[in-house]
Amino acid sequence: MQAMPRAAPPGTSNSTRCARYSVTAQHLSVLNPIRRRAVLVATVIEMQVALTDDAVVMFERLIGQMFRRAERREEAALKRDKRTINGKIRLLARLGTAIIDARANGSDPFGAIAEIIGWDDLGSEIAEARQLVRPDPLDPVELARSNLPILRQIGPAFVASFTFGAVPACSGLARAIATMRDLGSGRLRKLPVGVPLGFVRPAWRRRIDRAGLDRRIFEFCVLTELRDRLRAGDMWVEGSRRYRAVEQQLISAPVFAAMRAAGPLPIPVAETAATWLAERKALLTQRLAEVDAKAAADALEDVRLSGGKLRISPLRAVTPDEAEMALAPLYSHLPTIRITDLLAEVDRWTGFSKCFTHLTTGRMHDDPRAVLTAVLADATNLGHARMAEACDLVSQRQLGWLAAWHLREDSYGAALAMLVDAQHRLPLSNAFGAGNASSSDGQNFPLDRRAQATGAVNPHKGSEPSVSFYTHVSDRYAPFHAKVISAGASEAAHVLDGLLHHGAELAIERHHTDGGGVSDHVFALCHLLGFQFAPRIPNIAARRLHLFRDARPGPAIAPLAAQAIDEQLIASHWEDIVRLATSIRTGVTSASTMLERLGSYPRANGLALALREVGRVERTLFTLDWIEKPEERRRATRELNKGEAQNALKRAIFFHRTGRIRDHGIQAQGHRASALNLVAGAIVLWNTTYMEAVLRHLERHGKQIPPDLLQHLSPLGWQHINLTGDYLWTDASTTGGTLRPLRQKIGVSDAQNA
């Protein structure tokens, strides 16, 4: 059995982390008996948990695919029949007009119909129209009928294989699951009288009442509702890590009480709800008065507030022409270099390859170039077989061994942290940003045909199954965190993971995202954990403001106000809110797990609703800043542009196989994302280092660039880097301990590239 590294989530014990790595039978045989048994037992326990999680994930995807297939069938039918449907609509419009005119004129409506179309033809048209009528894509009766084979295969087996827990509100669904389990085992022959249906959606209940309830419809409703409740945390699976009860994912109440007593808590939040509410009320009152005063004086830059409508003009370009003229030639002086030599040179500066130690011995590999070759095989999407052909240093088998024993998520994280810290220490990086802000964004990569079953389709980003590499980038262009998420998943759930779980010496205070990362829950948790969340909210003019009940906004702001903040809800759940934030900060649970759970609650869950109220307060304060301060809008755009520019660099690096991912497992896909981030980070460090050398060279020749223009410089260019061809390694002694010579003269093609 080949070693299969897998990243451990926050809160995982050391023994569990070890169990996530399986070893070959040969390596097990050399262990002493006690350690061998301990490894095997830990592996079996961990495998049981992992398989439980994987089975529930597969169940989720199968149920989701039922709905997507139905929607695609309806879309295809609509496209196929659109001409015929349009003809029927036109005929209906003509007939309706004729009947209305006949009624108004007092003439015979039947004669009017006959003038337009004969009765025989009308009958044919009606019969043809009946053939075009299709069921609602979300019709439970039709979905149960069309998916009967799949439901019969997975439904009884799934509910029989696991033990489910439920909150009191889901007791009806729990009884329905027990009934379904009895039907599958043969203890029940048919649906009993009075079978629980309270969990079924009201619209579905009406449809079922008309069609009549049978076993297949009942089981379909149970499975779809079970999928939704597992996502939300209203129900959980015993023995699962990902789908365990929400209460089990937080710090236990006694431990949290002890932490409170010992104090202070590791989060910058008020001790009591009353204190927090008083602070936010005072701040919100102040900000409302300031914005109202500017609105009354028509002093809001690029903003109009009139008639209850908010209009914000698009931002104008902020990069001056003189900056482009002054900075463009800098890249023409950078030395050309192979990507292999670039990695080797950065490794000599930082020693980041030392992070890739052996899994069991903790020793570094004898040849760092071999480890870097394995990293490069993932980062370029070339794979081990083709990399072995393009490189004369290691074989395909050696690359596989290196990937199994030396490349792990924690190793990638430690190596990336070294590069980020080194780049942030360079004087030139101060020109890019203060080092206390960051942004995050997802980048879609399509899946190869063999791996498409593991992906999802995001209609906003293409029609093919894909995954998304969600990356955090500092304001100095350094990528400091990356993870693989489903292309169909909400990016908002993953915003905080990168801010909390990176190994770099960063002090991030402010974070930016585009619309995909926005939610009231993210606003709330960012505030509770000490981060200022400053997203670029799409269509922000249509978003309502949420004020406290005793707020007295001026005439300009009042029309924008919506539902008032529920102070009592926040106060009654403040203890749970603080416990949730503390659990996330201390790593007991991950922010993404909790945000996915809380964001899935369709019912009135107290914690989810209270956290939403906190987020509404913070979003309202942020919106007022966005309206009043144009620099807020410029800063968000500037930081998000850095992430988008980084995506272009990564697309250039990850070019083999046309950028399609062939890996089936999330672990292998995660290695691709981590390696790509690492190589991009190395390029950013190398470019920043050599740009400093270019600036010093220009200063010596009397061509100093004004410091205020350097903020528009970017270390993301790659025209001078050979990313393709043979991946050969130059002898380290050829460059010594100094930087490579800069290019003094450039040709026409180089100038054009620059």
Summarised one tens digit per residue, pLDDT across range 34-59 is 988 998 898 899 899 989 998 998 89
Q: pLDDT-based confidence at 241, cuts 50/70/90?
A: confident
> What integer pLDDT is reported at residue 278 of this predicted model?
96
> What integer pLDDT is reported at residue 365 of this predicted model?
92
Query: What mean pLDDT comes out for the span 94-119?
Result: 88
Give the C-alpha separation, 553 to 559, whole Å. Answer: 9
Pair (165, 52) in one structural domain: no
Give the C-alpha separation, 470 to 665, whole Å. Answer: 17
Residue 505: how many other CB atoms lie within 10 Å: 12
Pair (127, 19) in one structural domain: yes
- Look up the domain containing 236 and give its range: 147-244
CB 270 within 8 A of CB 617: no
Pair (101, 215) in one structural domain: no
Pair (212, 105) in one structural domain: no
Query: Locate tokens 């002054």: which residue?
Result: 326
Does the pLDDT of residue 219 top 70, yes or no? Answer: yes
Please provide the average confidence, as pLDDT, over all residues in the chain. 87
DSSP 555: T
Pair (112, 29) in one structural domain: yes
> What integer pLDDT is reported at residue 602 of this predicted model?
53
Pair (219, 94) in one structural domain: no
Is residue 564 included in any domain, yes or no? no
Q: Provide, rounded to the nearest whole percent, the portion of the chain with pLDDT above 90.
A: 53
Pair (219, 98) in one structural domain: no
Pair (119, 165) in one structural domain: no
Which of these three, 134, 157, 192, is where a domain ends?
A: 134
Is residue 30 included in any domain, yes or no? yes
Does the pLDDT of residue 108 top 50, yes or no? Answer: yes
DSSP 705: P
> What integer pLDDT is reported at residue 747 of this predicted model?
42
CB 206 within 8 A of CB 212: no
Give the C-alpha separation, 665 to 672, whole Å. Answer: 11
Does the pLDDT of residue 687 top 50, yes or no? Answer: yes
CB 521 within 8 A of CB 615: yes
Does the pLDDT of residue 12 top 70, yes or no? Answer: no
Pair (18, 56) in one structural domain: yes
Does the pLDDT of residue 518 top 50, yes or no? Answer: yes
Q: pLDDT-based confidence at 282, cuts 50/70/90?
A: very high
What residues does 479 pair with on adjacent strands? 473
Is residue 440 included in any domain, yes or no? no
CB 664 within 8 A of CB 450: yes
Element (H, E) at 667: helix 666-700
Degrees (nearest 5) of the Cα angle 204, 209, 211? 95
Q: Report the chain's C-alpha Rg in angstroms.
A: 31
pLDDT per residue over 564-614, tens digit each? 999 999 999 999 999 999 999 999 999 998 998 887 765 557 888 999 999
pLDDT per residue over 605-651, tens digit each? 788 899 999 999 999 999 999 999 999 999 999 999 999 999 999 99
> What integer pLDDT is reported at residue 111 of this predicted model?
87
Pair (9, 32) in one structural domain: yes
CB 468 within 8 A of CB 442: yes
Which of these three, 99, 134, 169, is where a domain ends?
A: 134
Q: Provide, rounded to the nearest whole percent, the portion of the chain with pLDDT above 70.
A: 91
Is residue 581 included in any domain, yes or no? no
User: For every residue of 93-115, which 3-state class applies, written as one string?
Assistant: HHHHHHHHHHHHHCCCHHHHHHH
> What integer pLDDT is reported at residue 221 of this predicted model?
92
Pair (85, 200) in one structural domain: no
Identify whether 264 is preceded by a cis peptide bond (ω within 30 of 0).
Answer: yes
CB 216 within 8 A of CB 150: no
Q: How many domains does the chain have?
A: 2
Pair (130, 179) in one structural domain: no
Does the pLDDT of residue 303 top 80, yes or no? Answer: yes
pLDDT per residue over 309-353, tens digit each? 888 888 776 677 788 888 888 999 999 999 999 999 999 999 999
Q: pTM for the full model?
A: 0.82
Q: Which amino acid would we find at residue 151?
A: L
Between helix 253-262 and helix 574-585 the angle, nearest 10°, is 90
Is residue 718 included in any domain, yes or no? no
pLDDT per residue over 225-238, tens digit each? 999 888 877 889 99
Does the pLDDT of residue 17 top 50, yes or no? Answer: no
> What integer pLDDT is reported at residue 7 of this predicted model?
38
Is residue 611 included in any domain, yes or no? no
Which of these three, 198, 220, 244, is where a domain ends?
A: 244
Give the C-alpha separation, 392 to 464, whole Å. Answer: 36
Strand 721-722 relative to strand 532-533, pairing: unpaired
Is residue 608 included in any domain, yes or no? no
Q: Which amino acid would we find at residue 310?
A: L
Query: What mean pLDDT comes out for the span 413-438?
Result: 96
SS3 527: helix
pLDDT per residue over 351-374, tens digit each? 999 999 998 888 999 999 999 999
Comparing 667 with 590, which gets the higher pLDDT? 590
Give the C-alpha separation, 641 to 43, whole Å. Answer: 44
Is residue 235 included in any domain, yes or no? yes
